Chain A
Amino acid sequence: MGRVNAFGSRGREGAQREKFNAIFRERSCNRKHRIRNAGWPSMRSLTNFAPSTFEERGAAVAFTTPVLSQTRVRKNLHEELEVLVSNLSEGRGVYVVPWKALPMAFPMTAHDRMLQDLIVKAEGCSPGDIRTAVLEAARCGLAGPLAVEAAEAALGDDDEQRLLINFQLIAEVLKAVGLESSEFLRCGLGSEEGQKLTRELMLKGAKKLSIEPTELYARVAELAALMQPIGLTSSPKPGRLRRLMRELANFRDSMTEWTDGNPSEAAPIGGFCAEVAEHTLNHARNVVGQFDQAMEAFETLLRQWDAKRTVVRRAATRLSWLMDGWEFLIATWAEAQGKSRHEQDLAVHELFRVLPLLPRAESASDQVSAADQVMAANRRSVRAYVDWRSGQLDMDLVMRIESIKTRAA
């Protein structure tokens, strides 16, 4: 069954969107508003916010408080953190809440208060910085023992990848300058003998490349830090983001299969999620392609470091932004498998709420307008995230988010 691509032309809707963005940006700078509603009435979703860049879109934070789950954090013009919360009155647009005011605006779980503190203490708010804070917060135990295990496993995996990538990069240096590396490969980096041998070989390598040894070490170290989440094509275990890309492809396939021939009103929304996944994946593949190309010409990369490092750094940053937020969606969808059709419909609506649309500057297609069209055609009342009788947090929902967190760490 053929599907119509939802990314249509922008038209009048697009013009309105431009106007809305202009207002929004103005309002973002207005310090008088502690909490600002930047939009007009419509459905509740972060998808009807149309940022230009990844930085403006913000990085997804794995909060366990349902209303804040996967909400985005960014820095404003004054380098202060602020968080984007989808409109609580089911209206269009998003609230921009100063980071410090968050606990006053929403009852947060103890885990989220800890996470909020850790994010403040961290220097930046890139997906990498947020991930570090999320894993640290999960490790302390405030999201339960399974989240502790998942965070420790993820941190352990990071350490393993760091060691592996260092090893591989040194082997690449040696290969690039034509030095025999079999002895080094045999000893590895773990032993004293191996480290001594590595130092000797790297000295020789630096000489051949006509680079200062300290500079060569610094370049390899910088490259290792950039490469760690991505990994090399030759890695025995693909890097975290490559694995995530593979899972995203599976998510797209699973969602497309679910959508085909499904009469549910959630099916077009699921189809849209699959299309956004496909677009994201295409962009990610391009970035990884550039990355791998740079690594293939490793000697050129080392020699023309000043020019090439920017390309590599930009590619690494872009890939982390492209994949940001998808872990939660993939884990949510995986959890919905095997559940009833109705629960799967609800899961698809939940995915749509936090779908990481590509910013306008990153993609030729206008995903926000397309999301608007999907939403307009599939209106439904969105579930509230608080217990309607008491205004208390819905602890069952918190429990579900925590269980997804253990899969998405």
Chain B
Amino acid sequence: MESQALLGLGTKLLDIDEQRFRQVVGLLEHMGDHPDVQKTFSLIRPRLVELKPRRRPTMKRLFCEPFEDLFEPLDRSAPAPLKTIERDVVNGLWPLVEAQIGKERVKSFSGALRPVAEAPDGPDMALAFWTEAGEAVALIAGQFEAGRFAEDLKLRLTPDRVRAVGDIARILSIAGPVAELKAVLAPHPVVRLHQDHLAGVQEIGRKVARSRPEALKIFILLAAARLADPSLLLGGLWNMELGQKSGDRAALFLELSGTVITQIEERSRVMKQAPRQSADRLAVADLAAGLVASLEATRSAMEQSRNSSFDQRLKAVRGSVHEMVRSQILEGATGDILEALEEMRDGTMNGAAPAQAAETRDQLLRAENHARALRKCATIADTLGLRGELKAVTQKTLSSLTDTARQLLGRGAGSATPASGSRAGFTAVRMIELIAGPAEANQIMNDVLNGKP
């Protein structure tokens, strides 16, 4: 197949139905490791991540297994691991590793790709392969300074990339403990960290500290990458006994704290940069709630360790989350929600054209998200010092919505049903429910439908 045709296929593959997509992925895999095939895979990777079709096991995939959790996320808005590895670096590195070990020698480990039922020695073989690959990567990383391999990598050799190759070597050298860690912190991502998780990380961490102390830091970062929120690990880390000297432990904790805070800062910065008009308010609220949880976890870990060196940075992040919630969720909330309701009321009464009806629906969906965002903010308003402001906005919106519901549903008091009542009136009740919860909405609906003042 022509390379142009292949790349064209890549963009088409993003739109075809799921079954055909899986078939085409299977066919592409049989075409081997051709660069154009690889480019096509890069193009369709977001959909591969989404659908996760069963991929053919390859030695390259096996090579990546220990450090796959550190791959940069394809969705830029998703939280990235504390340390990331670019896929391009691995794509450039793998041929070098293959050459270093020797293709025939690499093939001799292919038993590791077979299911355990067929090849009982598969896990041992995989471990031997990772050890050998780790040595090869360490050798390659060592040669970078001398200028060797830099061109073969087919990438500009930045300090970050050199660091990533070093990390890969270190992770491969502890591939056994990493496999154990993955089993302990499963399924990925772990949303809540339990005592058995922490005990598991500590036990494996001790082994790493004894055999490869230089890999302990990357091991902890890998553990953090298995969590939905890496800051969760901070709280447990301070009390974790990894068999290090107290000075080393404090240094490791400080380093991880610094990395966690940098990531929180990064996340809050990304959100701040999003254009205000187009922002999905619920996503903003979700992110704000996530950031506040991370901030709280980090703050309590800092308190435990009596460390105040990050106080200013934490305060700055809190300030920016405060500003973001205020400007993107609280500001204009009442107007947005009521305007959507007004649009709907006019559209329903005038029999809107399909295109206008679709626009009204989309506006209503955005308003619903805004209402949900307001409710979500109630859980973080205290921490952010926005309690009063949120209360004022919520009360103002609820009072206007109640008036609308009374006006639209009250006319047929006592007999209002979906057939006779106004849809806009019920939508006002729904908005009340999304902001204040079902108890309040039901109370208002009952009062209005039963003609109570």
Q: Which residues of A contact B (CB under 8 A)?
A: 65, 103, 107-111, 113-114, 118, 136-137, 139-146, 148-149, 337-338, 340-342, 345, 392-393, 395, 399
Contact check, A141 vs B187: say whether CB atoms are below 8 A apart: no
Complex formed: what's the CA distance from A114 to B425 in Å?
Answer: 13
Q: Is B445 on the interface with A (CB-CB < 8 A)? A: yes
In whole Å, how far is B201's beta carbon from the nearest beta carbon of chain A? 19
User: Which of B140-148, B210-218, B245-253, B430-438 binds A?
Assistant: B430-438
A348 to B368, CA, bound (A): 29
Number of A-B contacts (CB under 8 A): 81
Q: Tell me which residues across on chain B come within 8 A of A65, comparing CB atoms.
A: 438
Complex Cα distance, B426 from A399, in Å, reads: 17
The 10 closest A-B pairs by CB, nearest first: A140-B418, A342-B187, A141-B423, A141-B426, A110-B441, A141-B427, A145-B361, A140-B426, A338-B50, A145-B364
- Distance in Å from the Cβ of A311 to the closest Cβ of chain B? 36
Closest to B437 in A: A392
Cα separation A332 to B104 with both chains bound (whole Å):
48
What are 17 A-B residue pairs whose CB atoms fall within 8 Å in the complex? A65-B438, A109-B441, A110-B433, A110-B445, A136-B419, A139-B418, A141-B426, A142-B430, A144-B368, A145-B361, A145-B365, A337-B18, A338-B52, A345-B187, A395-B372, A395-B434, A395-B437
Q: Is B439 an interface residue (CB 8 A)?
A: yes
A399-B368 Cα distance, complex, nearest whole Å: 10
How far apart sit A107 and B187, CA to CA, in the bound complex (Å)?
A: 32
In the bound assembly, the distance between CA atoms of A103 and B439 in angstroms comes to 10
**A143 vs B18: C-alpha distance in the bound complex, in angstroms?**
29
B446 to chain A: closest residue by CB: A113
Identify A109's interface contact among B417, B418, B433, CB under 8 A.
Answer: B433
Q: How many residues of B contact A (CB 8 A)?
A: 30
Complex CA gap A71/B405 in Å reads: 30
Residues of A within 8 A of B421 (CB): 140
Given contacts A140-B421, A338-B51, contact A107 B439 (CB under 8 A): yes
- A137 CA / B419 CA spacing, docked (Å): 10
Closest Cβ of chain B: how far from A115's Cβ, in Å? 10
A399 and B187: CB pair below 8 A?
A: no
> In the bound complex, how far is the Cα of B445 from the Cα of A192, in angstroms?
45
B375 at the interface (CB under 8 A from A): yes
- Whether A110 and B418, one on each chain, are in contact in the complex, defined by CB atoms closer than 8 angstroms, is no
Query: CB of B429 within 8 A of chain A?
Result: yes
Enumerate chain B residues within 8 angstroms of A393, measured Cβ to Cβ: 437-438
Q: Which residue of A lies closest to B360 (CB)?
A: A145
For A387, the closest partner residue in chain B by CB is B379
Residues of chain A lying within 8 A (CB to CB) of residue B364 = 144-145
Collect the chain A residues with CB atoms within 8 Å of residue B407's CB: none
Residues of B within 8 A of A342 (CB): 187-188
Q: Check A107–B18 contact: CB distance below 8 A.
A: no
Assess whether B372 is in contact with A142, with CB atoms less than 8 Å apart.
no
A109, A139, A141, A338: the one within 8 Å of B438 (CB): A109
Partner of A141, one of B50, B52, B430: B430
A-contacting residues, B392-442, CB 8 Å: 417-419, 421, 423-424, 426-427, 429-430, 433-434, 437-439, 441-442
- In the assembled complex, how far is the CB of residue A266 from the closest CB belonging to chain B, in whole angstroms? 11
Given A144-B365, A144-B430, A146-B361, 4 extra CB contacts under 8 A: A110-B445, A114-B418, A118-B417, A145-B365
**Which of A141, A143, A146 has a CB less than 8 Å from the CB of B365?**
A146
Partner of B426, one of A142, A146, A149: A142
Nearest CB of A to B428, in Å: 9
Complex CA distance for A113 and B447, rounded to whole angstroms: 13
A335 to chain B, nearest CB (A): 13
- The contact of A108 among B417, B423, B426, B442, by CB within 8 Å, is B442
| Secondary structure class of chain A's binding surface, majority of residues | helix
Give the distance to chain A from B166, nearest Cβ to Cβ, in Å.
30
**Separation of A118 and B361 alpha carbons in the complex (Å):** 25
Which B residues touch A337, using CB under 8 A?
18, 51
State the Cβ distance, B288 to closest chain A Cβ, in Å. Answer: 15
Query: Given contacts A145-B364, A338-B18, A399-B372, is CB(A110)–CB(B52) below 8 Å?
Result: no
Residue of B nearest to A113 (CB): B442
**1/0 per residue B249-276: CB within 8 Å of A?**
0000000000000000000000000000
Chain B residues with CB under 8 A of A114? 418, 426, 445
Residues of B within 8 A of A118 (CB): 417-418
* Residues of chain B lying within 8 A (CB to CB) of residue A136: 418-419
Q: Which residues of the other chain, A, contact B418 by a CB distance below 8 angstroms?
A: 114, 118, 136-137, 139-140
Report Cα–Cα, A352/B111, bound state, in Å. Answer: 38
B187 touches A110 (CB 8 A): no
Which of A107, A110, A392, A399 contacts B429, CB < 8 Å?
A110
Contacts of B372 in A (CB 8 A): 395, 399
Neighbouring A residues of B441 by C-beta, 8 Å:
109-110
Looking at the assembled complex, report how far the CB atom of B179 sits from the nearest CB atom of chain A, in whole angstroms.
15
Q: Which of A113, A137, A395, A399 contacts B445 (CB 8 A)?
A: A113
Please provide the chain B residues from 365 to 386 with a CB less than 8 Å away from any CB of chain A in the complex.
365, 368, 372, 375
CA gap between A368 and B322 in the complex, in Å:
53
Distance in angstroms between the alpha carbons of A144 and B423 in the assembled complex: 10
- Chain B residues whose CB sits within 8 angstroms of the CB of A108 once the complex forms: 438, 442
Which residues in A have their C-beta under 8 angstroms from that of B423? Answer: 139-141, 148
Count chain B CB atoms within 10 A of each CB in A108, A113, A136, A141 and give the residue with the most.
A141
Residues of B within 8 A of A392 (CB): 437
Q: Identify the closest chain B residue to A103 (Cβ).
A: B442
- By the criterion CB–CB under 8 Å, are A341 and B430 in contact? no
Q: How far is the CA of A103 from the CA of B51 in the complex (A)?
A: 40
Residues B18 and A110 in contact, CB atoms below 8 Å apart: no
- List of B residues within 8 angstroms of A399 by Cβ: 372
| Residue from B361, B426, B433, B445 having most chain A Cβ neighbours under 10 A | B426
What is the CA–CA distance of A393 and B372 in the complex, to the nearest angstrom?
A: 13
> Scoring B residues 36 to 47 as 1 if CB is less than 8 Å from chain A, else 0, what string do you get?
000000000000
Look across to chain B and name the residue whose beta carbon is closest to the beta carbon of A144.
B368
* Shortest Cβ distance from residue B125 to the other chain A in the assembled complex, whole angstroms: 20
Contact assessment for B433 and A149 in the assembled complex, using a CB-CB cutoff below 8 Å: no
Taking CB atoms, residues of chain A closer than 8 Å to B365 are: 144-146
Give every chain A residue within 8 A of B18 (Cβ-Cβ): 337-338
Contact A110 to B430, CB < 8 A, known contacts A136-B418, A139-B418: yes
Taking the closest CB of chain B, its distance from the CB of A345, in whole angstroms, is 8
Complex contacts, B426 vs chain A, CB 8 Å? 110, 114, 140-142
Bound-state CA distance A337–B445 (Å) is 37
* A102 and B434 alpha carbons, distance in the complex (Å): 21
Q: Complex formed: what's the CA distance from A149 to B361 in Å?
A: 9
The CA of A118 and the CA of B420, in the complex, are separated in Å by: 13
Q: Is A395 a contact of B430 with CB atoms below 8 Å?
A: no
Q: Give per-residue flags for B177-192: 1 if the beta carbon is below 8 A from chain A beta carbons, else 0.
A: 0000000000110000
Chain A hits for B50, CB < 8 A: 338
**In the complex the two chains form, what is the Cα distance from A141 to B437 in whole Å?**
16
Q: Complex Cα distance A395/B430, Å?
A: 12
Give complex CA distance A148, B434 in Å.
17
- In the bound complex, how far is the Cα of B364 from the Cα of A108, in angstroms? 23
Closest Cβ–Cβ distance, residue B422 to chain A (whole Å):
9
Q: Mark B60-102, 1 if CB is under 8 A from A, else 0.
A: 0000000000000000000000000000000000000000000
Q: Which of A140, A146, A395 contacts B375 (CB 8 A)?
A: A395
Residue of B nearest to A106 (CB): B438
CA distance A395 to B379 in the complex (A): 13
Nearest B residue to A390, CB-CB: B379
Please state if B361 and A107 are interface contacts (CB–CB under 8 Å): no
Q: Contacts A140-B418, A140-B423, A142-B426: A341 and B187 contacting too (C-beta < 8 A)?
A: yes
